[in-house]
Chain A
Amino acid sequence: MKSLRRNLIRTVLTILGLVVGIAAFICVVGVGKAGSAKVEKELQKLGDNMIWIEAGSRATNGVRFGTRETKSLTVEDARAIFAQIPGLKRMSPNVDGRVQVVYGTQNWNTTYRGVAPEYFDIRRWEIQTGTIFTHDDVERDVPVCLLGQTVADNLFPNEDPVGKSIRVQAMPCRVIGVFQPKGASASGWDQDDFVAMPYTTAMKRIGGTSWLDDIFFSGTSRSAIPIATRQAVSLLRERHHLHPEEPDDFNIRSPEDVIRMQLQSSEIFTMLLGTIASLALLVGGIGIMNIMLVSVTERTREIGIRLAIGATEADIQFQFLAEAVAISILGGLLGVIAGMGASSLFQSTLQWDIKLTPQLLVFSGLFAAGIGIFFGYYPSRKASQLNPIEALRYE
């Protein structure tokens, strides 16, 4: 142990790999946990067993294109699917786009969303104040709207929006409610920055279109989703008169896909960190093995003396193994500290809710000790097998 303190610089350099490795390891597990917790939360927020049909085909790499140009998805499609396919309990058409909203002197550029009342159940939007519109409002394309929290904050910094009249583009529109905020999505966009209105109102008075951008459904259960999805695909292809060799002019996603895509960047990051962690741990382990071999050679004579005065092979092996473990636990502790620092940095810069459990930290320390035992075994074994006479003669 004393020799560790004396060769401080050499020891510090040796454990650097281990420090980086353990720190990266802590971040990997922390980020990974944060990721999966986030997926669950997002799935909950995103919707109630949601199936999402989007106009426009999807390229093989998953990037959608031509959505705005695709004029094939209609309200009739939505009704036909909902009527003919079992396993669906709610349906809402959706049209959307960018729009300028004005109240008095306040001005805000946001997204409008024309939907049916079911939309708010499918996507789990809760009302904070006011009410949602009715099927009757949809029938008669009444100019009413509900505001997301961000829009409400920007148009009505000091007032209650409910009952006020705003302008959505050129259309005067009465605010009938404000949604509970959802906050930022996994990929970082502000989910509360939108105005919702009946889809008929949006189609006739804002977009001037007769086609839909999306249709949303709720399945009766999560297990009903895959079959319903397949049946919806064939029904839509039939209704759109697509030849077998033609690609879909729409695409269907379930929220898992969406979240997965949104989280892909963080997964790549996790993988990168994981690779760094493994490499650094390997380098750290080899470093420990190396320094222990050097130490055994430098102390050959000492080993000879110890054997001559009655140390057993096990005593010698234990001595060097303990040294290797001490080095690696030191590295592990520094790694835990560095890992906590790095995690809180990620947390504040990337807003990831990284949770470092005590178990993770303890496990990291034990893991470091394990590395010490694994990579210290060979050098310590070598030390214990030295011939005492030759070791005593070693210069």
Chain B
Amino acid sequence: MATVNSVTTTNPVETDGRGVPLVEVHDLRKTYQLGETEVHALRGVSVSIHAGDFVAIMGASGSGKSTFMNILGCLDKPTSGRYLLEGVDVSRLTKKELARIRNQKIGFVFQGFNLLGRTTALENTELPMLYSKTNKNDRDRRAREALAQVGLADRADHFPSQLSGGQQQRVAIARALVNQPRILLADEPTGNLDSRTSVEVMEIFQRLNLTGLTIILVTHEPDIAQFAKREIVFRDGQIRRDDVVKVPHMASEVLKTMPTIRD
């Protein structure tokens, strides 16, 4: 189903399986040269992801998940293969245009939170807007809104060192949301969190997905993958399985069954 369409869709929310996919990759390969040996991180990955989807990517360590995410996030370029984002061939874009895509269309959440340690939660959340020429008032307002979305309105002036791991990750999610991106890319966002906090993060993701945000999440915990709508399994740089999650778990329900040790 290689629908190569040069016209970019203007519909903010695509209906499942119809129209131009939000993300479309075709025979994606990535080879690293490590001295004499070649490391094939990706060996021909093809997949389409439509707007509104919630994908969990699973796979053993070293199977190419992060490499794939970095390419989707326009932080890295494939050795070969095509990547169309909203129908646009990303390989044709300049560095400046890629920076703009990272700023406007993509939100990143990392395993290690990656907040700026010496700035407050609010300032961290404002950061993407510094690169999109947003004026001070709008920055402040939108950053506070984003923090409220992740339940941290009252922690705006806290420094990362004054926040728990779960709270730091929620600041990182607020930062990823603040420019209203099309896709949220999360590479093992719960890798450093305990199980309850992990479910809390998934609850936020599910809530965001309900509003139409497309989410691609890497995890190696099967429990976490069950909160997504679709599960893709990587092995040795290739897609081994690509299944619909029949009945996704509802994080808000699961939380009710868990002991409430607030962080």
Binding site for B on A (CB under 8 A): 2-3, 6, 301-302, 304-315, 388-389, 392
Contact = CB atoms under 8 A, between A and B. Distances in A.
Given A2-B118, A315-B131, A307 B99 contact: yes
Contacts of A313: 95-96, 99
B207 to A, nearest CB: 22
Given A309-B131, A388-B75, A389-B75, A3 B103 contact: no
B110 A312 contact: no
A309 B75 contact: no
Nearest to A395: B112
A308 B96 contact: no
In the A-B complex, the 9 residue pairs with the smallest Cβ-Cβ separation, listed nearest first, are A310-B103, A312-B99, A309-B128, A310-B102, A310-B131, A388-B75, A305-B114, A311-B131, A308-B108
Contacts of B99: 307, 310-313, 315
Interface in B96-120: 96, 99-100, 102-104, 108, 110, 114-116, 118-119
B59 interface: no
B73 interface: yes
Interface in B148-197: 175-176, 179
Contacts of B179: 310
Contact of A310 (B110, B115, B116, B128): B128
A2 B116 CA distance: 12
Contacts of A301: 114
A310 B132 contact: yes
B110 A392 contact: yes
A315 B127 CA distance: 12
Interface residues of B, number: 25
A388 B103 CA distance: 14
A309 B102 contact: yes
A6 B96 contact: no
B118 A3 contact: yes
Contacts of B198: none
A312 B96 contact: yes
A305 B96 CA distance: 16
Given A2-B118, A6-B118, A311-B99, A306 B75 contact: no
A392 B103 CA distance: 16
Contacts of A309: 102-103, 108, 127-128, 131, 175-176
Nearest to B99: A312
A384 to B, nearest CB: 10
Contact of A305 (B73, B103, B116, B118): B116
A310 B75 CA distance: 10
A309 B124 CA distance: 11
B242 interface: no
Contacts of B131: 306, 309-312, 315
Which of B75, B95, B115, B175 has most chain A Cβ within 10 Å?
B75
A2 B103 CA distance: 23
Contacts of B73: 308
Contact of B114 (A6, A389, A392): A392
Interface in B63-121: 70, 73, 75-76, 95-96, 99-100, 102-104, 108, 110, 114-116, 118-119
Contact of B102 (A3, A308, A389): A308
Nearest to A308: B108
B94 to A, nearest CB: 10
B70 A389 contact: yes
Contacts of A311: 99, 103, 131
A390 to B, nearest CB: 10
Contacts of B132: 310
B174 to A, nearest CB: 12
A2 B119 CA distance: 9
A304 B115 CA distance: 11
Contact of A306 (B76, B96, B127): B127
